[in-house]
Amino acid sequence: MILRHLSQSLKDQNWTAIWIEFVLLVAGVFLGIQVSNWNAARADDARAQAYVGRINANLQTDLLSIQRREVFWPQVIAYGKAAIHYAETGERVDGSAWKTVLAFYQASQLWQWGPSDSTYQEMRSGGELGLIRDEKFRDALGQYYLESGSGVDYLFKLQPEYRKLVRGLTPSVAADHIWAKCWRQPQVSEQYLLDCDSPISEAEAQAILEGYLKDQNLLPELRFWVA
């Protein structure tokens, strides 16, 4: 309609009307562009908030995983130190050959970890990290995923030689019992090391311990693993 009025005013050479209608035309185009930009900005903000919400959920998952491993790994280390103490002094765990066998075996346990980074990687591959406008927050996320990704990849994917040695030297009757009664994993995100009764006699457990110490590589590998 404005264009039609403008065209008619040009024919009539009504310059005042021409200028008014021209200004209205330009203003209309400008406002249309602004509304489009505002809508795009609002859409970007909504997507950014959705991404941040998902990243927050990922970080909460990481926190819970780390907290559980803060319980698990000290247990593994304690078992390892108890086994080393027996190897160096002959003193069994609580005077029990079975508990000492359990210490050697549980010292070989692993619980690998990696960050829950699916959302961050999705944003990165899609070129949408810029949606997070807070530069410090964006940099902090990048640093976190860099350090908790490739930074810990080697450590948590390490398969110690000790693990292979001690499991190869442990009779099936003892190993099967440990997995059935001395270890529990209700779900992938949970793992527990438990005390348990012995499935064998003390004499049989002592024979297993002697077999451990006959392997010249087992104790050095255990020391390396615990250290």
pLDDT digits 0-9 by tens, 198-216: 999 999 999 999 999 999 9
Q: Are 160 and 224 in contact (CB under 8 A)?
A: yes
pTM score: 0.75
216 burial (CB, 10 Å; 0-12 / 13-18 / 19+) is exposed
pLDDT digits (tens, 9 = 90+) for 134-192: 888 888 888 888 777 665 666 666 789 999 999 999 999 999 999 999 999 998 888 99
Average pLDDT of 80-109? 98
pLDDT value for 167 = 97
Per residue in 100-129, pLDDT (tens digit) is 999 999 999 998 887 888 888 888 888 888
Measure the N-to-C terminal CA separation of the chain; round to a whole number of Å.
82
Which residues lie below 8 Å from residue 200, measured CB to CB, with a gap of 6+? Answer: 98, 173, 174
Task: Please report, as a single letter, which amino acid is at residue 91.
Answer: E
Query: What is the distance between the alpha carbons of residues 180 and 140, in angstroms, rounded to a whole number?
Result: 43
17-55: per-residue pLDDT in tens? 545 554 455 555 555 555 555 666 677 788 888 888 898
Q: How confident is the model at residue 10, as a pLDDT?
A: 47
Q: Please state which of the ranges 11-20, 104-113, 218-227 shows the lowest mean pLDDT.
A: 11-20
pLDDT at 16 over 70: no
Task: Report how far residue 62's alpha carbon sits from residue 78's, in angstroms, rounded to the nearest whole number.
Answer: 24
CA distance 72 to 180: 18
Non-local (6+) Cβ contacts of 197 within 8 A are 181
The reported pLDDT for the residue numbered 100 is 99
